[in-house]
């Protein structure tokens, strides 16, 4: 087991500990520091990096549906909904654009077009 795998295992255990800490103390869910630490820990885990690499579009679509549900239930107001929706739409458009560019580059590499 290499040092990279040990670090990854440590980060997974830290993420699990943070989630348990949040469940035990729900007031933490209202703090920016808790969510920032949770995000920073999760994004460094190798498996999560791999997941995000191939599924960004699906994740953005899922976030948009959660956002629409929260808006429909009245948890967020119209201005917040529109702002978050615009940010997610921009992220979705950038993800699709990146995928199109990657496909174009793969085609050029296979055909050897210069």
Q: What is the pLDDT of residues 44-93, one digit of tens each?
A: 877 776 766 667 777 888 888 888 998 998 888 898 889 888 888 888 78
* The pLDDT value given to residue 28: 82
User: Given a cut of 70, is residue 113 above it in pLDDT?
Assistant: no
Q: Which of 15, 7, 21 is nearest to 41 (CA)?
A: 15
Q: Are residues 86 and 106 in the same domain?
A: yes
Q: Are residues 58 and 74 in the same domain?
A: yes
Q: Are residues 58 and 103 in the same domain?
A: yes
Q: Is the CB of residue 30 less than 8 Å from the CB of residue 50?
A: no
Identify the domain containing residue 39 by its residue range.
1-44
51: tokens are 């997941």
pTM: 0.47
Domain ends where: 9, 24, 44? 44
The number of distinct structural domains making up the chain is: 2
Query: What's the rounded mean pLDDT across residues 101-114?
Result: 78
Q: Are residues 6 and 58 in the same domain?
A: no
Query: What's the rounded mean pLDDT across residues 104-113?
Result: 78
What is the three-class DSSP state of 68?
Answer: helix
Q: Which of 86, 84, 89 is nearest to 67 (CA)?
A: 84
Q: Are residues 31 and 58 in the same domain?
A: no
């Amino acid at each position: 087991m290499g040092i990279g795998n040990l670090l990854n295992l440590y980060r997974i255990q830290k993420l699990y500990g943070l989630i348990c800490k949040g469940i035990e103390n729900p007031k933490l869910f209202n703090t920016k520091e808790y969510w920032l630490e949770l995000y920073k820990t999760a994004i460094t885990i190798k498996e999560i990096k791999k997941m995000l690499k191939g599924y960004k579009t699906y994740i953005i679509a899922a976030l948009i549906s959660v956002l629409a549900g929260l808006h429909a239930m009245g948890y967020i107001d119209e201005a917040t909904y529109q702002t978050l929706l615009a940010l997610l739409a921009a992220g979705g458009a950038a993800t699709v654009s990146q995928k199109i560019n990657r496909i174009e580059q793969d085609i050029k590499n296979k055909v050897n077009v210069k």
